[in-house]
Each structure stands twice: as structure tokens, then as C-alpha cells.
A and B are shown apart, each in its own frame.
Chain A
């Protein structure tokens, strides 16, 4: 899908970014000298366990807080510490738990409408039809606009969260564990929707997760994080057939699997360590 020969300007790039949090008695290095770039239309997976710096990275990409050191670029333009409205609009977030990321006192329609109003998207009169179109885009009926989040199932709520991110017509979606709170059947449907949306709307994804089985089926490239350091970055195929890092191998070894073919793959990966 992505041209690998010609190197176009990456849509998003981080150069040597670090983040240090200061506590009363000590400092925590949450992210240490990370450089990565995401090509347009690509799905880059950020993988690691809790405390690895995944969410810190996401927050900095979104501009929620600035890095302690290093720079970030959007379409080749350096991102300032305080971002203007259009810059914020370009990168949108879908969080893990839609029950806490959607306002419980606001109808679905009002939540979607707010995104349109803030960024002044479309003419005022047609925003109502735009809300209906957004719901349709994520496979929900237009009547849902008058409902509250509490009247929706987990999968439906996550679709609303995706619709709200899409409302801003972003270039990049940062997906922070978007399906890990969902049941398996629902997870499969939401993942399929995300995959389809990316291709249909030419979106770029930064997909944060700890679930490597999901990564295998949705990502083009994978960056593995361990305690704030990016320990490996490779295309998805390489990560799963010939990981170069011991931590990556241990992550693959820990995935609960259900078929004999997967068992065989996991075994080869774990035995291959001598090759490196």
C-alpha cells in the first residue's frame, strides 16, 4: 500500500523526543530519546507494557503536553508548544474507555456537534445532517443522535468515540487501546470498522496497544517500547517472524493463542534467539 522506494515527507515525525516528569523527591524519565516517523496512510503500532511510555508519547503527539526535549513535525512543519486550532484538529484521539471519554450528560448528537462547532466545520445549518452522516460512517443509525451514552452498548459507544474523532476531519488518528475494553466479537467488528475507515478516508493511524495479535492484523509497522525507550522498530511481518529484540520476543511468547499454527510460530520466534 505504501510506496517504500520514494521517501515522501512523513505526515508525522518525532525527532529525539524525551519526557521527564518531576515528582517531589525524584524525576521519572517517561520517554527517552524517541525518534519515529509515520507515512501518510500508514498504521504504525506502538506496543509495550504499562509504564513503557506509550501513552506519554500519544499525549505529546496530541499536544496535551510538550516534550522536555526534542521536536515534532506535522507535514514537515515543526509543531509549536501551543498549537493553533487547525493543528489540533489535524490529530485526533480515540481513547480506551468510551464511557469515561464521552460526556454522560450530553446526547451523542450534542457531543458530535460540539466537535463541529469548536472547529467551525461546515455551515451551521447543515451540521445536523453532518452528525447523521458521521453516525452512518461508523455504522450507527441516525436516531442515536438523541440518545445518551448510557443507553448504548460498549461497542456502540466506541463507534461514537470514533465518529467524534472523525468529525474534525483529521489527518491522523491516535488510537489508545481502542478495543481492549470490548468483548471479542465486538472487538473484531470495531477493528474491522477502523481498518475500513483508514482505507476509505486515507487516514493515518498511530495505534497504541499491548495486544500483539491485533497488531499483526492491522498495522504496517510496529514500534516496541520498554521503559521509555524504543527498543525495536520494524515492519509487522519482521516483528512476528524474526524479532531482533529479547523484549519483543518475550511479548510474543506471552500472547495467549488458540491455534496450532500460532503455537508453531511462537515456538520458532522463541527458539530463534540464538540467531541474534
Chain B
């Protein structure tokens, strides 16, 4: 069974006088353990699709199922709780909590999940070591490089033991070396924890690592390719 199933997704923004159709009937299935990149030019609807898959936004039309749960049918409160328990996020601008250390940032999701202190501290350190910055556990985001911050963001996303991780342009602010290191690390996490990763990107280096590339243009899927890597 697919972990994510999007059926006939349409999304129209009416924030200006002219309605903007960001998605025009997207159908997509993603299986457990995939390492998928959603690509396309700016304005093609990548971020909108990712927001809908991530439960941050709801489609104007169509249904989005996460296993057996139709996100359209969840209340705002249930949606927040669903995100907390089932979805991990990695953002382009890292979006760590600036006043918390790397370890505390990683623990944060587990605090919201009410994981006991000892268990979450142990897990946070384990994840920080896994993403290669265990030695920076007590550093605050301002004391870390962009690549290191993004590693903390990945550790934080993994901490909730999500069914899948949404990564919106995770390498956009990183230099080449950091990008390679981050992608290698994410690929390793994908293998190690069988975590599903879904990226939006127009970074070729990400595409080179992806096992599946879904291309969007004008809010429609124009190609969907799978690779053996």
C-alpha cells in the first residue's frame, strides 16, 4: 500500500484579484522508503504540492491520503497532531529555534510528543551523532554553519520517527561541499531507518541522488521517472 496517495489535487490561490492555479489535477503515489525529488521551474507548484503532502495546506479539490487517513477530513487540531506524529520537515532556511542548542532543537519535537526526558535526550544525541554533528550538540544555530544547521534540521525531522520527511529546497542555501555531505547523510538515513524522503528542488545534485524524479510544470506532473542508484 502507498504511504502517500494524492488524487486529483487542485489548488487555487485567491489572494489577489486574479486566481492563481498552483496545482491542476495532480495524481501521485509514494511508497515507503522512497527518496523522491519533485522538480520543476519556479512557479510550477512544487512547494504547493509539498505543503499539501505535508498537511500544511489543504487542496482546493481532490484528496490526499496518508495510508488510510484522508487529510481533508481532519480538523485543524487533528492536522497539527497528525503532522507532529507522522511527518518530518526540513526547510530551505533551516528554521531551527535560535534560542535552543542543537540538542534541544532535536529534542523539541519529542517534547511536544511528550517523550520522557531521559529517552529524548538519548535519542537526540544518537541522531546528532548519526547526522555527524554530535560534537556540536551544545551549540546554538547561530554558532553553526548552514550545512550543520541543516543537519540539525534533519535530526529534528527524524526525531519524531515520521512516516516521511518533507524537504523543501533543503540545499538551496548550502555550498557544494555541504550539499554533498547533507545528501549523502540523508541517503544514509533513508537506508538506515527506511525513512521516506520527498524533496522539492531544482538542484541537479539532489536530482542526481534521487531514486525517483517527479517533474511538475504549470501545476501538472509532466514526467515521473524512477532510477536504480
A binds B: no
Interface residues, chain B, with chain A CB atoms under 8 Å away: none
Interface residues, chain A, with chain B CB atoms under 8 Å away: none
